[in-house]
Amino acid sequence: MNHPHPDLPYPSKLAAKTLRIVALGGLGEIGRNMTVFEYEGKLLVVDCGVLFPEESQPGIDLILPDFEYIRERLDDVVAVALTHGHEDHIGAVPYLLRERSDIPIVGSKLTLAFTEAKLKERRITAPMVEVKAGMIQKFGPFELEFVAVNHSIPDALAIAIRTPAGLVLATGDFKMDQLPLDGRITDLATFARLGAEGVDLFMVDSTNADVPGFTTAERDISPVLDRVIRQTERRVIVASFASHVHRIQQIIDVAESHGRKVAFVGRSMVRNMKLAEDLGYLHIPPNLIVDSKNLKDYGDKVVLICTGSQGEPLAALSRMANGDHEIQVGKGDTVILASSLIPGNENPVYRVINELTRFGANVVHKGNAMVHVSGHASAGELLYCYNIVKPKNVMPIHGEWRHLRANAELAIKTGVSRTNTLVVENGIVVDMADGYADVAGAIPVGFVYVDGQSIGEITESSLKDRRILGEEGFISVVVVIESQTGKIVAGPDIHARGFTEDNALFNEVKGMIEKALATAVGNGINGTHQLQQVVRKTVGSWVGDKHRRKPMIVPVVIEV
């Protein structure tokens, strides 16, 4: 647990007719979006997603929002409302429902289908409340109105939240593509109507706030995909998020036009595309899809669609790059990375690109061809929204600090007062009443790490140890001493891993250890714990001075 602002007090009891807003994730980062709204003793959760680990978090599978703030109050949660079906917005739902499984999950048809599939894998059943754009539903004291927005996944929604404290409009992730593949544009007419009613707090997607102009239309990618696939003589392998239905529809259409069969590779990809097809969001021509196990029957006239566009170590594309997947990538194959780079994933992605190139593949990505466009509104689109909605207060969401700040500056340019623009991070509490929103304090929030079967057991200290082991190596020192006299009767025995192969190197420090122990015993220091610290300090000083390294040192002193 860490406290984002130790100078801010823990918030006082919530006043009457006041709405409290606390982000438990998603601010200052791209991922694990989760915001808690509180009114008159009831809680509404909007989104509940995961964050993918960086290289500085070795061994971690996922990072969850910190539920501690609401753990004792789960019975007060009236609903979890989901804006869309991406992992950074729904991935942590199963972990929350492990703690209380009967919380109503609210979302559009596709969002609920993706969420329900995750819950089924963990044998969790929860009440599902399907909503559509234009619907108004009440959950406890919160009246929610759902608004269609355009994003890189179908069925995305913004949510207008009404309470007697005022009207909040949370965009979720959105952009304003005017020629979307599914014909479903962001409903600016409703944004304008809500603006006329009076939006007290506008919570706005910030991911592309520092990108000038307008986000490129999805349709503009199709000709590039067509050219890349047409020019490829052998197989085409496309890596995408398993929820990116629009992009996968484009790949399917282009593959069919060039007489290629399509195979889905990876459990989540197969599952999600089957759901999307069954629900009518993905249109697949008959006899186009083949089983990835039978690829040899179709030669090179295939397009494989798999996961791994972010360099995730266990995803299909990473395993192909490592050469430990049944599908071997080779000379003449083309690999298309159909996604943006999530900040922090650059090194794993470039590693995958390099390995695939080494095998002879032609790797096409956003850096060298327009094979992906963002799902988020750029600065020009955000300015339109501010001018249409004319909010009293603005709170940028979903982005790193540079994105949040850039978004705030856009709001200020359109006339929102700087004092009414709240750039806050996870754990900072915002209270709103009578059209005013202000910081009311802060709560402790931390990263909750998922490592295999363990959830929340790995701490920052554990990760620091892992980094030291990975970067600096490990030295163990075993010394046996006589319990009465403190004289060394065996050792020091020194073993190292990831430090040096030359054991003779340690001869110099063995004498230093013997001398330090003799001095310590002569000064009346006894007890194995204290003597172990003497050994650790001696070896640490030697290895730091002589070798400029800081390995993990494990001293063991045994009394006989």
Report the 10 Å Cβ neighbour count for 224: 17
Q: Residues 218-364: name the CATH superfamily.
A: Metallo-hydrolase/oxidoreductase (3.40.50.10710)
**1.20.140.10, 3.50.50.60, 3.60.15.10, 3.40.50.970: CATH of 19-213+374-455:** 3.60.15.10
Q: 411 and 394 in contact (C-beta within 8 Å)?
A: yes
> What are the contacts of 312-315 at 24+ separation with CB within 8 A?
312/52, 312/348, 313/348, 315/239, 315/266
Query: Global pTM?
Result: 0.80
Per residue of the chain (560 residues), give pLDDT as tens: 344 566 888 998 999 999 999 999 999 988 889 999 999 999 999 999 988 765 555 556 678 898 999 999 999 999 999 999 998 999 999 999 988 999 999 999 999 999 999 999 889 999 999 999 999 999 999 999 999 999 989 999 999 999 999 999 999 999 999 989 888 999 999 999 999 999 999 999 999 999 999 998 888 888 988 998 888 888 898 888 888 888 899 999 999 999 999 999 888 888 999 999 999 999 999 988 888 888 788 888 889 898 877 767 667 788 888 887 888 888 888 888 887 766 666 777 888 888 888 888 888 887 777 778 888 999 999 999 999 999 999 999 999 999 999 999 999 999 999 999 999 999 999 999 998 999 999 998 887 776 656 565 555 555 555 555 555 666 777 877 776 666 776 667 777 766 665 666 676 677 777 777 777 776 666 667 777 777 777 777 777 777 666 777 777 777 76
Give CA torsion, residues 130, 149, 202, 3, to 10 deg.
70
Q: 20 and 423 in contact (C-beta within 8 Å)?
A: no
Q: Is 205 helix (H, G, I), strand (E, B) or coil?
A: strand
Domain boundaries, the chain: 19-213+374-455, 218-364, 472-559
Domain 472-559 has CATH 3.10.20.580: yes
Question: How far is C-alpha 516 from the geometric centre of its chain's CA atoms?
Answer: 49
Q: Is 369 helix (H, G, I), strand (E, B) or coil?
A: coil
Instruction: Output the CA torsion sign for 484, 490, 496, 500.
Output: positive
Contacts of 194 (CB under 8 A, 6+ apart): 145, 147, 160, 167, 169, 389
Question: How many whole angstroms separate alpha carbon 337 and alpha carbon 50?
Answer: 22
Domains 19-213+374-455 and 472-559 in one fold: no
Beta-sheet pairing, 166-170 with 362-364: unpaired
